[in-house]
Chains A and B, each alone.
Chain A
Amino acid sequence: MNFWFELLQNILQIAISPTTAAFVLAAIGLNVHFGFTGLMNMGQAGFMLVGAYGFGVSVSYFGLGFWAAIAVAVGAAVVFAIILGIPTLKLRGDYLAIVTIAAAEVIRMVVKLAVLQDITGGPSGIPGNKYRPVFTELSPLPDGKTTILGITYANTGVDDWWTRIVAWGLVALFLLITWLLIRSPWGRVLKGIREDEDAVRSLGKSSYAYKLQALILGGIMGAFGGVVMALPAAMQPDSMGRPMTFNLWMIVLLGGAATIFGPLLGSILFFVVRLLLTSLAGEFIPSSLLNTQQTEQLAWVLIGLALILLVVFRPQGVLGNKKELSFNV
């Protein structure tokens, strides 16, 4: 019985953790790209990396304050989106996919450079305590700890309620923004581009400009995801690589592309199911048969298989509408 109670608590913990929120934020951005505009962005992790390092480096190396650092993170994501978008948005979809994945890898390799050790921390990244203080000092919460539903965290500290409040507040804000934008005339043009770009062009709209705007908007959301991801932990270049992008795709497709709440549901499902798999396997399969490492690896195998099955049999995900989904080339 104790096991089940702990499991329940763990599920609750992971469902509200800032990391989950970070994935939701980045997935909302990817949903703007892919779900609403039909852009095959395979480098969303690159946007997260740009955002996280934009924030972290401006605080730890240039000594900027919180708001200035956030502005740098957003600015970096905008520049990254423009650099990626200008050459590729006029091309076929798979070119964007290859260029974004390549660009995200280039960015990751560059911040990992040993030469940049003083600025980006090289392969080991930037430790959290170098940039976190500017964020924690904004906290209006009193000192001490708070327990909600049996989960205790410090009000303000390393892995605290303050980060969680801000992270999920951002999620709510971005969901609202997407909802408002998508039902606006601007959002309808985006959907039009997804459905039939030539038709949109024949109506006199510059589909190129709209796609670039969508890329920038989703990229900014990705950058916030990166910042939130880095706040409770340290900044590590390899944690925002290709696997991250693939996970985000899994999340968007699982929850339902082109829906408002798809990324939220997808993220929570993704983390909870993974936790369930590993902890149930850890509890009921003897470790002589499968050790922790192997369970983790098998969980990944299942994630890969789930991605295949999802795309083949239910491309619209849990919440999606098949008519809304287009995998145009």
Chain B
Amino acid sequence: MTRTTAITVSTKRPLGVALLLTLLLALFLGVFTASPAHAVECVPDAATGCVQGVIKTGAGDPAAGIKLTLKGDGESQSVETDAEGRWAFAITAAGTYSVSVEKSSLPEGQFFKSADTREVEAQLNSQASALFPLTDNEAEASGGETSTTGKGEAASSSSADSFSWPRFWQQFVSGIRMGLLISLASLGLSLIFGTTGLSNFAHGEMVTLGGLLAALFMGLTGNLWIAGLLAVVASAAFGWAQDKVLWKPLRKRRLSLMQLMIVSIGLSITMQYLFQFFWGSGVIRIDKSTPATWTFFGVTLTVQSYIAMGISLLAIIGVGLGLMYTRFGRATRAISDNPALARASGIDVDRVINIVWIIGAGLAGLAGVFLGLVFNGLNWFTGGQLLLMFFAAVTLGGLGTAFGAFIGSMLIGMMVELTNIWLPGDLKYATALLLLILILLVRPQGIFGRKERIG
């Protein structure tokens, strides 16, 4: 165990952190066009009444970005559900209102369990609610006819319904999709961990950044392919800058890994709230059009999902082959193995680490773009929520091995989507984390990790 000796190497070091911040700010301020914070809030008072509710998917997850329209009293309003699936209308006159959900804005594979339009009796200074239970089982779905009851029938949104093979197959393919998206991010996390030893808690925010930038470029260019490409390039550039102005100077200062980890936590908090500051806390959709779906061997997914899966697989294979057969890949693996020896044998360690950061951030950005497309929008916390999934994947496969990270991600992705069949949707991330804890109990080095003394 080495004691940390944080000697100040030169007095210029404070510049590094300051530079990064300026850069971060400039990046946001430079390209950003103001958008109003999307707050789903309604507080009833003497002159206001609220009509509100929460929409959850059949699996029990909040359904974000669903469009609702309220009609009545000669007026019409529309809102979208926020990240927690909440929606609310503020009304200024008591009366009967009809709330309807736009069917095309439902997430893919979701159907109305009972009705898509409800009549609600709303009073001033009080809250009225309407339920729109969804299901992911098409057989249960109703045609979406109007219901006039508007009260009661709190259909439970638990997904622990019945098991059926078609449903298993659908979830299985969704699991592959989830696994591929997770592996994009966890590959980068694993490479960075392997070469620098850093457990990067800000990796989730690099994912979010990719998605948000894609939405921004989509607004500017209008072409999804260009927007996605630009977002990935910008993410990669951010990775390069992050290493140059933050991580490399800190490595030179000989900060211990624990200090670096806390720095990454600070960076993650900073970025999360910068996202909120600039993009608001609502759901940002990259592609606002209604996604087309495609049924393939009995599995219904959006066309974008299939494309995302294809590109992810290609990117993962590309990185894998690069690690196996190129000079750079060999250098990366050498550094993972033994940094001091790698340096002694003439490898430019800092340059390799810098490229690893570029690739890692680019992959994370790509994952963010796909997450935003596949799940019909993302918000400031999308990456943060998945961060522990990335860690679970990387630890499961074996810290620092790229192939292990891929297998770990696929397992975690499967786990997340398949447990959905039997357990309530609220638990889908919890099971993956429990798996992580159990793996550490039995085989702390992960599936593919080398057995070494880690105590």
Q: Say how far A295's CB is from chain B's closest CB, in angstroms.
A: 10
> Which residues of A from 274 to 312 have beta carbons under 8 Å from B?
293-294, 297-298, 300-301, 303-309, 311-312
CA distance A115 to B263 in the complex (A): 38
| Contact yes or no, B392 A304, CB < 8 A | no
Chain A residues bordering chain B, tally (CB within 8 A): 55
Closest to B21 in A: A305
CB-defined contacts of A307 to chain B, threshold 8 Å? 262-263, 265-266, 269
Contact of B422 with A by CB under 8 A: no
**Contact partner, B265, options A93, A94, A249, A309, Cβ 8 Å:** A249
| Contact yes or no, B158 A246, CB < 8 A | no
CA distance A94 to B433 in the complex (A): 16
CA distance A327 to B5 in the complex (A): 10
Which of A87, A97, A312 gathers the greatest number of chain B CB atoms within 10 Å? A312
Contact of A95 with B by CB under 8 A: yes
Mark contacts of B336-379 with chain A using CB atoms, 8 A cut-off: 1 yes-contact digit, 0 otherwise.
Answer: 00000000000000000000000000000000000000000000
| Contact yes or no, B268 A304, CB < 8 A | yes
| Contact yes or no, B255 A312, CB < 8 A | yes
Known contacts A98-B395, A105-B430, A105-B433; decide if A300 and B273 are in contact (CB<8 Å). Answer: yes
CB-defined contacts of A86 to chain B, threshold 8 Å? 441
Closest to A89 in B: B455
CA distance A97 to B276 in the complex (A): 27
CA distance A313 to B249 in the complex (A): 12
Which of A98, A115, A196, A303 gathers the greatest number of chain B CB atoms within 10 Å? A98
Contact of A152 with B by CB under 8 A: no
| Contact yes or no, A106 B1, CB < 8 A | no
Mark contacts of B1-27 with chain A using CB atoms, 8 A cut-off: 1 yes-contact digit, 0 otherwise.
Answer: 111101000000010010001000000
| Contact yes or no, B269 A304, CB < 8 A | yes
Which of A95, A105, A106, A195 gathers the greatest number of chain B CB atoms within 10 Å? A106
| Contact yes or no, B424 A114, CB < 8 A | yes
Contact of B169 with A by CB under 8 A: no
Contact of A146 with B by CB under 8 A: no
Known contacts A87-B441, A102-B433; decide if A304 and B3 are in contact (CB<8 Å). Answer: no
CA distance A45 to B302 in the complex (A): 39
Known contacts A113-B427, A304-B269; decide if A94 and B437 are in contact (CB<8 Å). Answer: no
| Contact yes or no, B273 A297, CB < 8 A | yes
Q: Say how far A112's CB is from chain B's closest CB, in angstroms.
A: 6
Contact of B261 with A by CB under 8 A: yes
Contact of A315 with B by CB under 8 A: yes
| Contact yes or no, A113 B262, CB < 8 A | no
| Contact yes or no, B388 A101, CB < 8 A | yes
Q: Say how far B391's CB is from chain A's closest CB, in angstroms.
A: 5
**Contact partner, B440, options A95, A198, A242, Cβ 8 Å:** A95
| Contact yes or no, A103 B259, CB < 8 A | no
Contact of A88 with B by CB under 8 A: yes
**Contact partner, B267, options A105, A308, A315, Cβ 8 Å:** A308
Closest to A293 in B: B37
CB-defined contacts of A97 to chain B, threshold 8 Å? 199, 261
| Contact yes or no, B274 A301, CB < 8 A | yes
CB-defined contacts of A40 to chain B, threshold 8 Å? 258, 261
> Which residues of A from 75 to 95 have beta carbons under 8 Å from B?
86-88, 90-95
Contact of B167 with A by CB under 8 A: no
Closest to B255 in A: A312
CA distance A253 to B261 in the complex (A): 14
Contact of A269 with B by CB under 8 A: no
CA distance A40 to B427 in the complex (A): 26
| Contact yes or no, B436 A312, CB < 8 A | no
Which secondary structure dominates where chain A touches chain B? helix
Contact of B60 with A by CB under 8 A: yes
Q: Say how far A284's CB is from chain B's closest CB, in angstroms.
A: 19
**Contact partner, B60, options A90, A105, A114, Cβ 8 Å:** A114
| Contact yes or no, A91 B455, CB < 8 A | yes
| Contact yes or no, B277 A294, CB < 8 A | yes
CA distance A246 to B262 in the complex (A): 9
Contact of A326 with B by CB under 8 A: yes
Contact of A99 with B by CB under 8 A: yes
| Contact yes or no, A249 B262, CB < 8 A | yes
Known contacts A91-B455, A294-B277, A307-B269; decide if A99 and B440 are in contact (CB<8 Å). Answer: yes
Q: Say how far A223's CB is from chain B's closest CB, in angstroms.
A: 20
CA distance A59 to B388 in the complex (A): 33
| Contact yes or no, A114 B158, CB < 8 A | yes
Known contacts A312-B259, A315-B259; decide if A109 and B426 are in contact (CB<8 Å). Answer: yes
CA distance A254 to B262 in the complex (A): 13
| Contact yes or no, A112 B426, CB < 8 A | yes
Known contacts A110-B427, A113-B424; decide if A94 and B257 are in contact (CB<8 Å). Answer: yes
Known contacts A196-B1, A308-B266; decide if A301 and B259 are in contact (CB<8 Å). Answer: no
Closest to B276 in A: A297
CA distance A328 to B430 in the complex (A): 30
| Contact yes or no, A102 B388, CB < 8 A | yes
Q: Say how far B386's CB is from chain A's closest CB, in angstroms.
A: 12
CB-defined contacts of A198 to chain B, threshold 8 Å? 1
CA distance A23 to B89 in the complex (A): 37
Contact of B211 with A by CB under 8 A: no
| Contact yes or no, B270 A305, CB < 8 A | yes
Contact of A151 with B by CB under 8 A: no
Mark contacts of B400-431 with chain A using CB atoms, 8 A cut-off: 1 yes-contact digit, 0 otherwise.
Answer: 00000000000000000000000010110110
CB-defined contacts of A91 to chain B, threshold 8 Å? 440, 444, 454-455
Contact of A329 with B by CB under 8 A: yes
| Contact yes or no, B430 A109, CB < 8 A | yes
Q: Say how far A169's CB is from chain B's closest CB, in angstroms.
A: 32
CB-defined contacts of B427 to chain A, threshold 8 Å? 109-110, 113
CA distance A93 to B430 in the complex (A): 22
**Contact partner, B266, options A112, A114, A304, A328, Cβ 8 Å:** A304
> Which residues of B from 263 to 302 have beta carbons under 8 Å from A?
263, 265-274, 276-277
| Contact yes or no, A90 B430, CB < 8 A | no
Contact of A159 with B by CB under 8 A: no
Closest to A100 in B: B437
Contact of B248 with A by CB under 8 A: no
Closest to B445 in A: A91
| Contact yes or no, B270 A95, CB < 8 A | no
Contact of A160 with B by CB under 8 A: no
Q: List 16 A-B contacts (CB under 8 A).
A: A40-B261, A91-B455, A93-B258, A94-B199, A94-B258, A94-B261, A102-B391, A102-B433, A106-B433, A198-B1, A249-B265, A308-B266, A312-B255, A313-B14, A328-B2, A329-B1
Q: Which 5 A-B pairs have the closest CB atoms?
A: A304-B270, A304-B269, A307-B266, A308-B266, A327-B258
Given contact pairs A94-B199, A115-B424, A328-B2, a sample of 5 additional A-B residue pairs in the complex whose CB atoms are under 8 Å apart: A106-B437, A114-B424, A246-B269, A293-B39, A312-B253
